[in-house]
Structures are given as C-alpha cells and as structure tokens.
Amino acid sequence: MNAPARHVVVLGGTGFVGRSLVRRLLDDGRRVTVLSRGPGPDPAAYRAKRALLTRDASLLEGDVHDVDFLRAVLDDADAVVNLVGILNEKGDSGEGFEQVFTELTRSLLTAMHDNHVRRLLQMSALNAGLGDSHYLQARGHAEREVRASRLNWTIFQPSVIAGPGDGLFCRFDRLLKRAPVLPVGRAEARFQPVWIGDVVEAFARAIDDPASVHQTYPLVGPEVLTLAGIIRLTARARGRHRLVLALPEALGKLQADVGELLPGKPISRDNWRSLQLDSISREDGLARLGIEATAVAERVEEILTAS
C-alpha cells in the first residue's frame, strides 16, 4: 500500500451510503467506477440509477456475481469498496442474504486475487455472525471469507446509519404521518445510530492508511437510543404527538409474522431476530480513525428534510 488508490471500484455505489462516498472519493481526486446490477431491459432503470450519481463517476451495469465480469472491470483498479447489502430477502430461508453477502463477496475476492488488486474495504454490520438472524449470520460468513483472503482488507461494522433519506428516521416518519398510535415490538432494543458523514469519512481515511489494513472498525454514534426513543425523536421533530405502544414479546413476534406477508415487509421475522441483539459497541472505531462522532439526535430535523 505504498501508492494511493487512484482508481476505486465501488459495488453498491448507488445506495444510501454509496452515493455520498462516491462524491467524497471524487472530491479526493480519485477516479471512481460504480458497478450496478444489470443490464436490465428497461433503459429508464439505467437512467434512474445514473441520475443518482454525479456525472464524474462511471456507471457500469452487469452481473456482479459473475467472476468474469468482475475480472474485466477490475482490470486497472487500485482498490475496491463493497457496499452491497439488503435488509430483507424474499422468503425467510437465509438464501437471499447468503447470495448477496457471502457468495458475492466470494466472487469478488476471486476476481481481486486474479487481477492482483489487493485493497478491499468491506461494509458489514455490528453483531455480524452473532444471534439467529439470517442477515447477521450472512454478514459474518462474508467477514470470514474476507479475513481468510490474502488481501489488504478493512472491515467496517456500523450500527444503524442515519442521514437525510435514511431507512431509520425517515421510515418511521412515513409511518407516523398516518398512525396516532404506533405499536412496536422490541421497543427497548438499543442502537447507537452513526451519522452517514462519519461513515463516509471512515472509508475515505482508511483507504490509503496502512494502519487500517487487517483491522475491523465498529462505527457507532455517541448516543445509545432505544427503538422507542428513535420513534419519539422522529415524532417530536415534526411536532407530532404520537403514542409508542411497546408490545410484549409474543405480540411483537406476531407483528413480525404479519409484517413478513405485507408488501415491502415493513418488519420481517428476520428483523425481529436481529432486534434480539442490541446494536451497540463499547469500542469506538471512529475515534481510532481520528473522527469525532456526530450526535445524531441533534440532526433529526435535517434528516427528515429528505423524507
């Protein structure tokens, strides 16, 4: 890792974190290529993804699970950032999570080895490999693949990531528009929401830092908030008076069983299993990278501007 990474390939670059990170990498003077699933039959879908990115980034569509495709696009890459992720899968077998996390990571590692691209920054999650959640187990399997490789890897394990247009505060904001009372399972589950800008800064600082090689960084904010507390903060930021009804375990599980069958899975059985573990960390990975964590609770109104 003597030379800086001039050309960075980003998987998942059109997502919530990816769009901000791509802009930051470009601002740092790097060339950025974003890989996206496709190509699809609808040109409008490509244009929609293209519109999410600054024009200075390249967008390539292809089968990101195909090792040959990955070999071709990594031909002159200096570093790879893997942000690909999903929060829910079709069904509840774990196969969807394994495909997106473990199998894709395995294909990426093969292509990187074959092309002698050694630098990898891998997005994971707090509690990866722990508990009964298919999501967390698949995250853990992907981490093991990365650690067993001969690459110069760095793994990031964020708690829930907060920022304008996120899937946390903005998601509850949409629910609270219609619901004067919101029944919530695992209302006491604890999180340390981390600001999206801090996550992007962590990736940007680590990419050329030899001290970050073979390191894992838990990324958490300075505040521990319960799920109920996050919902109340969201309501308060909008000036809404809403009642959060904490459900007992049996009813909370029933809520997840019902949510599993609803369009978009507002809550799933696997979400329920993930909520059995608090998403908090005593270790401050941001501080290790010289970053002072942002207090998310102070920025909820800013977050909701994109809701």
Q: What is the pLDDT of residues 55-78, one digit of tens each?
A: 788 899 899 999 999 999 999 999
pLDDT band at 38 (very low <50, low <70, confident <90, very high): low
Which band of pLDDT confidence, cut at 50, 70 and 90, is reported for residue 163?
Answer: very high
How is residue 19 written in tokens? 């769009």
Can you list the domains of the chain with their CATH numbers? 7-165+193-221+281-293 (3.40.50.720)
3-state secondary structure of 100: helix
The bridge status of strand 79-82 relative to strand 190-191 is unpaired
**Cβ-contact 65, 99 below 8 angstroms:** yes
- The model's pLDDT over 233-259, given as tens digits with 9 standing for 90+, comes to 999 999 999 999 999 999 999 999 999
Cross-strand bridge partners of residue 279: 191
Between CA 173 and CA 28 the distance in angstroms is: 34
Q: Write the DSSP symbol of residue 262.
A: S
Give, as one character, the DSSP assignment of residue 191: E
- In this prediction, residue 53 carries a pLDDT of 78
Work out the number of other CB atoms within 10 angstroms of the CB of residue 276: 15
pTM above 0.75, yes or no: yes
What's the mean per-residue pLDDT of the chain?
Answer: 94
